[in-house]
Structure 1
Amino acid sequence: MQNITTVITPIDFSDNAKMIADSAAYVAGKFGAELHLVFVVQNFEDYSGFFVPPLNLPNLSKDLLESAQQKMEEFAESCREQAAAAGVSALHSRVLNGDVAEEILNYAKEVRGNLIVMGTHGYKGLERIMFGSVADKVVKTACCPVLTINPYRQDCSGEE
């Protein structure tokens, strides 16, 4: 098996995102690996058959990317201390734009990721019904191993 030097963790800023990032930091730290936090802004073109956006689409996309970048910087900063304590060699963050699963997979190839650590559940509802499970797509097509974490499962030891 290949050495684990680069761990990629997709986040979605849901209530579970910090727990997933902390778990990924723990795993990355055990290997002395880098941790890459990734957020993907979904393309609005994917929704074009469902609605007509009330605003100028290019401006809306730009605003979403800028907002996501700001939120990512804050999120990464909140993870920095935990990651350092866990032994993570470096913490990186990136905001991407496109199909969520495809962008995660492309980023893993770009940075030569050795492991993807991601939650099995993020935001739910209509988006999941229309586009399917991102985790499922990533697990089935990733170029490296994928560790999934179900944030709603109780610890096997009985502790929460």
Structure 2
Amino acid sequence: MQPVRSILTPIDFSDNAGKIVKAAAYVAGSFKAELHLVFVVQNFEDYSGFFVPPVNLPNLEEELFASAQQQMEAFVEEYGEMLKTAGVPAVTSKVVSGDIAEEILKYAARKKIQMIIMGTHGYKGLERIMFGSVAEKVVKTACCPVMTINPYREECEENVT
């Protein structure tokens, strides 16, 4: 296996995203690897079988993309000091749009990512049933090792005792 010099961490700006990034920063710092943070804006085309999209859909998608870029900047700023302290040599952030799992895999291939670190939980309820688990799709089809992190792990440990 080749040395790990680049790690991809998909984020979703949820409360759990911070836990995932902290774990990814620890691993990236240990390997002295560049960390890529990626957020995928889900395409509305994926919902086309469920509703008739409004005429102004392109404007809405552009607004969502712009909002996601602002959130990404704020996220990187919020965790910037922690990433430096963890020894992460460089951080790249990117917002893309499309199918979440597919875009994660495309980004990893394009950037020759050597490891993906992501949360096991994202979608909940009906959305997970309709679209499946993003983590599961990535684990099954990625061309590099994938480390999954259960963001609820601490809660599990507390409930075991």
The two structures share one fold, judged by TM-score above 0.5: yes
- Structure-2 separation of matches of 1:155 and 1:49: 37
Residue 53 of structure 1 deviates from its aligned partner by 3.2
Match in the other structure for 2:77: 77
Conserved 8 A contact 2:42-2:100? yes
Residue type of the alignment partner of 2:142? A
Residue 84 of structure 1 deviates from its aligned partner by 0.6
Match in the other structure for 1:127: 127
2:153 is paired with a residue whose SS is: coil
Q: Deviations over 1:100-129 (max 9, x none)?
A: 000000000111100000000013122111
Conserved 8 A contact 1:14-1:123? no
Q: Deviations over 1:24-69 (max 9, x none)?
A: 0110000001000000001100101101234511111101100000
Conserved 8 A contact 1:12-1:123? no
In the alignment, structure 2 segments of 5+ residues that lack a partner are none
1:20 aligns with 2:20: yes
Q: How does 1:1-160 map to 2 (within 5 A)?
A: 1-54=1-54, 56-154=56-154
Residue 157 of structure 1 deviates from its aligned partner by 7.9
In the alignment, structure 1 segments of 5+ residues that lack a partner are none
- Structure-2 separation of matches of 1:156 and 1:88: 29
Q: TM-score, normalised by structure 2?
A: 0.93
Pairwise CA RMSD of aligned residues? 1.7
Residue type of the alignment partner of 1:44? F
Mark the CA change 1:31 to 1:48 in structure 2 (over 3 Å): closer, same or farther. same
Identity %: 68
Q: TM-score, normalised by structure 1?
A: 0.94
2:15 is paired with a residue whose SS is: coil
- Structure-2 separation of matches of 1:73 and 1:153: 27
- Structure-1 separation of matches of 2:85 and 2:4: 18
Runs of 4+ in structure 1 over 6 Å off:
155-158
